[in-house]
Amino acid sequence: MTPERFEKLQKTLRRRQPDLRVLTDHVHKPHNIAAIVRTCDAMGIAHLHMVWPHDQFGHYGKTASGSDRWVTVHPHQTSLEAIQQQKKEGRKVIAAHFSDRAIDFRDYDYTQPTTLLLGQELFGVSDESADLCDEHVVIPMQGMVESFNVSVAAAIILSEAQRQRQQAGMFDELRLDQKEYETTLFQWAHP
Amino acid sequence: MTPERFEKLQKTLRRRQPDLRVLTDHVHKPHNIAAIVRTCDAMGIAHLHMVWPHDQFGHYGKTASGSDRWVTVHPHQTSLEAIQQQKKEGRKVIAAHFSDRAIDFRDYDYTQPTTLLLGQELFGVSDESADLCDEHVVIPMQGMVESFNVSVAAAIILSEAQRQRQQAGMFDELRLDQKEYETTLFQWAHP
Ligand SMILES: C[S@@+](CC[C@H](N)C(=O)[O-])C[C@H]1O[C@@H](n2cnc3c(N)ncnc32)[C@H](O)[C@@H]1O
Ligand SMILES: C[S@@+](CC[C@H](N)C(=O)[O-])C[C@H]1O[C@@H](n2cnc3c(N)ncnc32)[C@H](O)[C@@H]1O
């Protein structure tokens, strides 16, 4: 490994935002999962939670771009368990979801510890998951189709989160704890 | 057709932005094309230009979500021809492209007549296309991977364009000319 490469690993880890996470709730198409993992890496997200029942979806495959090397993927068997874990760890869970209580995605404060929940390609966020979430956010639609592709919706919302955290200076300080920083650096540098 | 449906068609057309366009330059994966068409519709974009050489890509198929019914797709044989047409019609062509002259995508003024050019999945924007463009814009990357999925990059940039145009009140007035408005309404209402 060149010194430049090692420095890039360090720089990336110094920007990671452990208290901004994504939770995919039964999203299952490989190209959507791949795009979401890649977007997470590029937006500084270290942890991706996936509700991914083994019996329904089979084994979670490696993504083409190799970006899953840079994002820790946490599989969960049920939405309930995944959402409860986020809350127990002190993060608000916000669903990207149309509902009566949904707010414009730009009106949410993403500098708070937050997990963004994304719904399934066809059926969206289930009623049970929606009920458990602290907030619902929507991206306004100007056209005839009713929704964005799920990886597109993720990217639009995360881009706003990234903008807010940038403005708040949250990419300028180490936000991983020292132990996670060192463990991850070691794993990345010695695959 | 119900009166509500007819009103939705009219409302959508009254928000269309004929002077904000997308040009895909040899983008060819069907799921990326599908996501881009769908995003265009949702962002109020009426015209999508596609450099899509017949001999290389075969026939352009219908997208799954049916969103290509709401966006006029213009095929082009070469990048040169497609870019020149945009300029002749008075739109700046900006490439989503890493280069020495690239600016942050949030620093561009999208209220100007603009066509956003997106590069191929693997090879990106060619040198020839890049040279022909008025500006290059980039979305900053915080992680290890070098680029976003192309439909994700399109969505992030168009979301910023939509935000700027919304703020400028450009969705509050009819921006299609009367003839295009009427022709399109007729086509949509009588498929
Ligand atoms: C293709 S959509 C699901 C559509 C589904 N028919 C529904 O009504 O929810 C997949 C996921 O993308 C996200 N999504 C898509 N468009 C969105 C929008 N405009 N605002 C917020 N989230 C959106 C949501 O998380 C949604 O569950
Ligand atoms: C997967 S990328 C192409 C990557 C290619 N290896 C390159 O170096 O350009 C496909 C297209 O998505 C767009 N894109 C992806 N990430 C981008 C970013 N961070 N900024 C601007 N455009 C981006 C560009 O139009 C690019 O040509």
Cβ(A107)–Cβ(A12) below 8 Å: no
- The partner residue sitting opposite A143, judged by closest CB among B44, B149, B151, is B44
| Cα B48 off chain centre by | 5
CA of A34 to the centre of ligand 1 (A): 17
Amino acid at B90: G
Q: Shortest Cα distance from A8 to chain B (angstroms)?
A: 8
Residues of chain B contacting A35 with CB distance shorter than 8 Å: 148-149, 151-152
A15 touches chain B (CB under 8 A): yes
Tens-digit pLDDT profile for residues A70-109? 999 999 999 999 999 999 999 999 999 999 999 999 999 9
The band of A189, judged by pLDDT with boundaries at 50, 70 and 90, is very high
What would the DSSP string read from start to end of B89-130? TT-EEEEE--STT-EEGGGS-TTSSEEEEE-BTTTBS-HHHH
Pocket test for ligand 1, best of A136, A150, A151, A152 (most atoms within 8 A of CB): A150
- The partner residue sitting opposite A148, judged by closest CB among B38, B139, B145, is B38
pLDDT over threshold 80, residue A167? yes
pLDDT of res. A68: 83
Please indicate, yes or no, whether the overall pTM of this predicted structure exceeds 0.95: yes
CA angle A77, A80, A84 (to 5 degrees): 110
* Residue A84, burial from CB neighbour count under 10 angstroms (0-12, 13-18, 19+): middle
Q: Which residue of B has its CA nearest to A39?
A: B148
Residue ranges for chain B with pLDDT beneath 50: none
DSSP state at residue B81: H
- CB contact residues (below 8 A), chain B span 149-178, against chain A: 149, 151-152, 155-156, 159-160, 162-163, 171
Average pLDDT over chain A reads: 94
pLDDT of res. B44: 98
Tens-digit pLDDT profile for residues A26-72? 999 999 999 999 999 999 999 999 998 776 666 666 665 678 899 99
Q: Shortest Cα distance from B22 to chain A (angstroms)?
A: 16
Q: Shortest Cα distance from B19 to chain A (angstroms)?
A: 16
Q: Which residue of B has its CA nearest to A104?
A: B163
- The partner residue sitting opposite A44, judged by closest CB among B143, B155, B171, is B143
Q: How many CB atoms lie within 10 A of CB A153?
A: 24
Ligand closest in space to the Cα of A139 = 1
3-state secondary structure of A41: helix
